[in-house]
């Protein structure tokens, strides 16, 4: 599809998309020599004759000014606002990114998190000056312990993988304190990739056990895998197929029987709120992705939070310092010598914790249970609508998400990637694709509880229409998207010949590395 009009300065119109879909030029292409986005008053402090450069070592000074764009403040804001409006987000689109829980983030939480008492607090302020923040952290830790069924909680980890790393360090310290050095961490073949990665980072050998025909842990395979050298069994429940591990109590007995510890990857905690507690299922350690479960904006990799809860026998190994309440006041105290030590600067991502606190405080215990119930209902409704057109490898009631497969569409030449790209034309963000790895052409779909029946139907209608297009006009799906500023990239060339930076053109022609607009 070729652009129909050149609006000048790099703008291109794409048929049927309207002016709001015109491709935005690079900020460098907007640059005009001498234009400024700020002005500063004259300095009113003494300055050496050579200027501020007199205080900088000569080898640290540039030989020529940096090649930065020269734009006005309005042009700068306009540029980035236009880019933002071209993004897909939970505020503007259906966002079924499996295993990521992209739920709506209430605006009131953003306003309260921005209160000066939270947003301007400095980590070096004395405890007496930040009692409100410390009280919030103390109560949040207690609430998370209640929700998870754990006896101790650390808020330090900055994300889920960081929580895994922290939990495994505590597991290693626990086993060493027992006078035993264990070498293996066991994971199912459906696990998140961070599980084996975290285990390897902690120096463990990773042993994988297969799933059974119903997409759960194969108990016979697990029995063969665990022994006196097993430190931890890491499990996601519900697992990455969205299925509850019905034999979890037997799994826990098996692992504990050889002296191992049970670790819950809490990425899917949205399905358990108020219904099940990991501690009651036999887990000794769990992290919870508060940016997922408790509604915190976390696109593009952050910010996040991965608090870790542990049972009583692991409390002595929690990271320090520890928050202690004495009377009505809170203060930080040193952790015992058995602690694994600090894993994060200061208290962690405070902004994320404030939002999680507000989410829990607003909903209460009953509201949190309703979150899980509606997430489960939404996922099962979508699965029921889609299984007539897409293969569902395990067609049983699911929890908060489910995995469909595009194997039938693949026989027509349309892959999961093509379907994901085509969904963008329908105004829906794509689900997670090609994960879990045990499902061919996987489409991992998680509609959170904040999606309405109308939004679910719109998404289902889009996927059903794409399944029909795969039969009648596969080329339309294979070449999607058609309505975005940038069309399908040559992914092989992009990987082998990445063009990641702008460079000025010596002859004044269109700068190298600039966006060229939609191609044919």
pLDDT in tens, 250-297: 999 999 999 999 999 999 999 999 999 999 999 999 999 999 999 998
Specify the pLDDT at position 300.
64
Q: Is residue 159 part of a domain?
A: yes
Measure the CA–CA gap between 12 and 303, rounded to whole angstroms: 34
Q: Is residue 242 part of a domain?
A: yes
Closest CA to 27 of 19, 18, 35: 35
Q: Is residue 512 part of a domain?
A: no
Measure the CA–CA gap between 294 and 296, rounded to whole angstroms: 6
Q: How confident is the model at residue 21 (pLDDT cuts 50, 70, 90)?
A: low
Closest CA to 202 of 347, 345, 340: 340
**Residues spanned by the domain of 319:** 110-117+130-363
Q: Is residue 175 part of a domain?
A: yes
Q: How confident is the model at residue 51 (pLDDT cuts 50, 70, 90)?
A: confident
Neighbours of 8 (CB within 10 A): 7
Element (H, E) at 402: strand 402-405
Q: How confident is the model at residue 7 (pLDDT cuts 50, 70, 90)?
A: very low
Q: Is residue 439 part of a domain?
A: no
Using CA atoms, how far residue 263 sits from 242, 340, 498, in Å, is 18, 17, 39
Q: Is residue 485 part of a domain?
A: no
Measure the CA–CA gap between 176 and 182, rounded to whole angstroms: 8
Neighbours of 251 (CB within 10 A): 24
Compute the mean pLDDT over every residue in the chain, rounded to the nearest whole number: 91
- In tens, the pLDDT along 413-469 reads 999 999 999 999 999 999 999 999 999 999 999 999 999 999 999 999 999 999 999
Q: Is residue 91 part of a domain?
A: no
Whole-model pTM: value is 0.88
Q: Is residue 333 part of a domain?
A: yes
Instruction: Count up the domains in the chain and report the number.
Output: 1
Using CA atoms, how far residue 51 sits from 47, 63, 259, 363, in Å, is 6, 16, 67, 57
Structure-block tokens of residue 132: 């409100």
CATH code at 252?
3.40.640.10
């Amino acid at each position: 599809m070729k652009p129909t009009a050149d609006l000048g300065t790099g703008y291109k119109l794409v048929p049927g998309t309207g002016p709001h879909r015109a491709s935005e030029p690079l900020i460098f292409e907007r640059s005009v020599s001498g234009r400024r986005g700020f002005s500063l008053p004259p300095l009113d402090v003494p300055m050496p004759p050579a200027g501020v450069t007199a205080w900088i070592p000569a080898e640290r000074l540039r030989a020529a000014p940096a090649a930065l764009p020269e734009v006005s403040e309005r042009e700068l804001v306009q540029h980035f606002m236009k880019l933002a409006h071209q993004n897909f987000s939970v505020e503007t689109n259906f966002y079924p990114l499996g295993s990521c829980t992209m739920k709506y983030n209430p605006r009131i939480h953003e306003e309260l998190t921005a209160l000066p008492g939270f947003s301007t607090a400095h980590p070096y302020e004395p405890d007496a000056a930040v009692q409100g923040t410390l009280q919030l952290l103390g109560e949040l830790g207690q609430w998370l312990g209640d929700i998870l069924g754990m006896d101790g909680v650390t808020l330090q980890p900055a994300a889920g993988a960081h929580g895994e790393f922290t939990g495994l360090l505590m597991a290693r310290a626990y086993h060493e304190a027992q006078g035993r050095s264990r070498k293996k961490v066991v994971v199912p073949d459906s696990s998140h990739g961070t599980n084996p990665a975290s285990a390897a980072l902690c120096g463990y050998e990773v042993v994988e056990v297969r799933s059974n025909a119903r997409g759960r842990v194969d108990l016979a395979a697990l029995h063969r895998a665990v022994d006196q050298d097993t430190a931890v069994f890491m499990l996601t429940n519900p697992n990455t197929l969205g299925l509850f591990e019905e034999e979890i109590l037997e799994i826990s007995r098996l692992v504990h029987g050889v002296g191992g510890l049970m670790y819950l990857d809490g990425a899917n905690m949205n399905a358990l709120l108020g219904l099940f507690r990991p501690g009651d299922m036999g887990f000794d350690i769990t992290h919870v992705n508060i940016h997922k479960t408790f509604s915190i904006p976390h696109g593009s990799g952050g910010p996040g939070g991965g608090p870790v809860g542990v049972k009583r026998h692991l409390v002595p190994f929690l990271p320090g310092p520890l928050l202690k309440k004495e009377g009505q006041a809170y203060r930080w105290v040193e952790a015992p010598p058995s602690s694994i030590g600090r894993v994060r600067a200061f208290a962690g991502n405070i902004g994320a914790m404030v939002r999680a606190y507000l989410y829990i405080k607003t909903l209460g215990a009953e509201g949190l249970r309703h979150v899980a119930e509606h997430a489960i209902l939404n996922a099962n409704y979508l699965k029921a609508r889609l299984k007539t057109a897409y293969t569902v490898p395990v067609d049983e009631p699911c929890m908060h998400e489910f995995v469909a497969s595009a194997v039938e569409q693949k026989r027509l030449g349309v892959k999961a990637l093509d379907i994901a790209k085509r969904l963008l034309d329908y105004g829906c963000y794509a689900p997670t694709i090609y994960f879990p790895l045990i499902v061919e052409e996987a489409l991992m779909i998680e509609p959170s509880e904040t999606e309405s029946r109308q939004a679910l139907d719109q998404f289902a209608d889009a996927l059903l229409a794409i399944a029909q297009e795969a039969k009648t006009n596969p080329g339309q799906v294979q070449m999607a998207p058609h309505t975005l500023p940038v069309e399908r990239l040559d992914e092989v060339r992009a990987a082998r010949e990445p063009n990641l930076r702008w460079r000025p053109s010596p002859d004044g022609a269109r700068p190298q590395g600039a966006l060229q607009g939609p191609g044919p």
